[in-house]
Structure 1
Amino acid sequence: MTFRWKMLLGAAAVTLASSLTAHAETVLKWAHVYETSEPFHTESLWAAQEIAKRTNGRYKIDVYPASQLGKEADINQGLKLGTVDIIISGSSFAARDYKPIGVTYFPYIFRNPEHLIAYTKSDVFKRLAKGYEDKTGNIITAVSYYGTRQTTSNKPITKCSDMAGLKMRVPDVPAYLAMPRACGANTTPIAFAEVYLALQNGTVDAQENPLTTIEAKKFFEVQKNIVLTGHIVDHLNTIVSKSRWASLSEEDRQIFREVMQEAGARTTKIIEEREKALVEDFKKRGINVVDVDKADFEKTVLEKVAFEDFGYVKSDWEAIRAIK
């Protein structure tokens, strides 16, 4: 082979290698703690496929459900360590880094899911999200509705004072404790996986979760009453790590954000439809579904719980409440 041909072949190899590198597939990890049957997972899979499609296969996103990469605290830490690129997580965990963003967990701040979604499009949300992003470098790209938290109990409850002395399992998150404690319940932080057994054997008399969770975990089998306290209209954030976001071009950032927001909207629609159907489903199963005087619950919480106890700012609460 002549020197000239060797040079030509070498140049062609360099060009081919450069081309392959430019279009190399980047593999990302997307983690969450939800089951594979839940929309938080199915719509994450859709988003992963859609991002691959819109970026011409430059990104391959592997989705890890059901705490495969750790519990919620672990995957939040993973954003900082660079061991995970994308997570779905509640603002209660974001509030560990930037407390004001957790104000959305203050009981009765949202009137309904529509109010929550309006908040996610507001200047208030943009400001709070920026506060979190400035503190951590991580980027909140989308928000989805998680569900409205309701109460199940062994006895009927129609007003706040009916909860006095009730042994109630509540997640060990400060804002989740606000309503039960204001109403006089004795709260117990039992691990989520042990709640069914705790209700069954009487370790606790009540618990609180969205209807979709009450149905999925079959809490209705061991509780006679579903009490529509509607105390927290809950949501989840889709978050991209600081290091991963920094590596994306502006064009790819736009694609990631658009797809993740579409996935969040799809998830929200599924959850809303499921919740509406479940009220009637539970009634058909003979469960006592109880409406409550929410104004009584809200009044008691505002009288007994201080925003400052959680690091929240009252003006943020007022601004969110004013969103139409």
Structure 2
Amino acid sequence: MTIWKKTLLAVLAAGLAGSAFGQTKLKWAHVYETSEPFHKWSVWAAEEFGKRTNGKYQVDVFPASQLGKESDINQGLSLGTVDIIISGSSFASRAYPPIGVTYYPYTFRNADHLVKYTKSDVYKSLTGGYAEKTGNQIVATTYYGTRHTTSNRAIAKCADMKGLKIRVPDVAAYLAMPRACGANTAPIAFAEVYLALQNGTVEAQENPLPTIEAKKFFEVQKYIILTGHIVDHLNTVVSGKQWKAFTDSEKKLFTELAQEAAQKAGADIVAKEAELVDVFKKKGLSVTDPDRNDFRDTVLKNVKFEDFGYRKADWDQIQKIN
């Protein structure tokens, strides 16, 4: 046999071996920037999963809506265009409404309460319901940040928001608190919020403190009111097809890594929020704690769980978590 034939056979053999024992590539998508903790720790988890499966998997993380906006990547789980995503429960609730109860205002007291919820029976029930409906598996939940209100008017209680022109995302759960307090909501595109605040189209908005800093809303607002109306969070979700393809040991490993990544990202956000209170005060803004019980009681009185497809029994269970 000539040398070139031997070489050809070796190449073909290698190709066949590669196809039989080749690496499985998975796509992990989200809409956040590479500078954010959600991306940093997703990349860590992806790399660790590859290492600990001895190279069986290569998980590539696609940030900043590279594979589509949030609604697209959620749909991609079913279409097979993505294998893993990070996304809010507001999107999961489109397929399974009860899981959206975590976006009802004042469901969580703080980040620690959210973390304890992720280890509870009600969490297992809600994520299990979502899995049964969609086939997709929620393996971890990350603290995203607590939503607060900024304004050019002082606010101490819910009634102080009456008539307030406030920009709120056009999502029912986000609109609930301002509307319950009598504010006039405006669903302005996120990219246009700074200008709208600057020119007085609206006089207030709401977002987590890191977002308030990143978007420089503090430059065009006088007050930061720590309303804490929604403790925002993100789910790490594996497509039903890929979840079935994992072995039991791979499911366990990926879940453990995703949960560790969630814990680390959440800790980064908590630390950043604590720093920002002082940062904003040094910039001359008034940072105040309003009467949250007043806000909470007003929302409970005026906003029905059933209008969103939520179950108050789930909310009550979450309240009992200590």
> After TM superposition, is the score higher than 0.5?
yes
For residues 74-113 of structure 1, give each alpha carbon's deviation from its aligned partner in whole angstroms, at most 9, with x where no partner exists.
Answer: 1111111111111100000000000000001111111111
Q: Find the partner of 1:171 among 163, 169, 172.
A: 169
1:23 Cα deviation (Å)? 3.8
Secondary structure of the residue aligned to 1:95 is helix
Runs of 4+ in 1 over 4 A off after TM superposition: 12-19
Question: Are 1:83 and 2:65 an aligned pair?
Answer: no
Task: Give ranges in structure 2 of 5+ residues lacking alignment.
Answer: none
Q: Paired residue for 1:63?
A: 61
TM-score (norm 1): 0.94
Count of residue pairs brought into register by the alignment: 318
The one-character-per-residue Cα deviations of 1:112-169 (angstroms, maximum 9, x if unpaired) are 1111110000000000000000000010011110011000111111110111111111
Equivalent in 201, 205, 208 of residue 207 of structure 1: 205
Correspondence list, 1:195-274, <5 A: 195-274=193-272
Quote the Cα distance in structure 1 between the aligned partners of 2:64 and 2:96: 26
1:62 CA drift (Å): 1.4
1:249/1:19 Cα in 2 relative to 1: closer, same or farther (>3 Å)?
Answer: farther
Aligned residue type for 1:190: I
**Which SS does the other structure have where 2:27 is aligned?**
strand
Matched residue of 1:212: which SS? helix
Amino acid at match of 2:35: S
Secondary structure of 2:94's aligned partner = coil
Residue number among 305, 312, 315 corresponding to 2:313 in the alignment:
315
Cα distance, 1:27 vs structure 2: 1.4
What's the counterpart of residue 139 of structure 1?
Answer: 137
- Counterparts of 2:70 and 2:189, CA distance in 1: 13
Q: Which segment drifts farther, 207-216 or 191-200?
A: 191-200
2:111 aligned partner: 113
Distance 1:89 1:99 in 2: 15
Query: Match of 1:117, as an amino acid?
Result: V
Within the alignment, does 1:150 sit opposite 2:148 as a pair? yes
Provide the secondary structure at the position in 1 that maps to 2:131: helix
- Aligned match for 1:35, one of 13, 33, 36: 33
TM-score by length of 2: 0.95
CA gap of 1:303–1:149, structure 2 versus 1, over 3 A, is same
Identical columns (%)? 66
Unaligned stretches of 5+ residues in structure 1? none
Residue 235 of structure 2 aligns to a residue whose secondary structure is strand
Distance (whole Å) between structure 1 residues aligned to residue 21 and residue 45 of structure 2: 20
State how far apart, in whole Å, the 1-side matches of 2:219 and 2:52 are: 45
Distance 2:57 2:254 in 1: 10
Structure 1 distance, partners of 2:102, 2:123, is 10
- The structural deviation recorded for 1:16 is 5.7
Counterpart Cα distance in 2 of 1:22 and 1:257: 27
TM superposition shift of 1:237: 0.2
1:120 maps to amino acid: T
Q: Distance in 1 between matches of 2:311 and 2:200?
A: 38
User: How far off its partner does 1:22 sit?
Assistant: 5.0
* Counterpart residue identity of residue 34, structure 2: T
Measured after TM superposition, the shift of residue 17 of structure 1 is 5.7
Amino acid at match of 2:170: D
| DSSP-derived class of the 1:29 partner | strand
Per-residue CA deviations over 1:167-189 (Å, capped at 9, x if unaligned) read 11111111111100000011111
State the AA in 1 paired with 2:299.
Answer: V
The amino acid of 1:53's aligned partner reads K
Structure 2 partner of 1:47: 45
One-letter identity of the residue aligned with 1:194:
E
Q: What amino acid is aligned across from residue 184 of structure 2 in structure 1?
A: N
Q: Distance in 1 between matches of 2:103 and 2:50?
A: 34
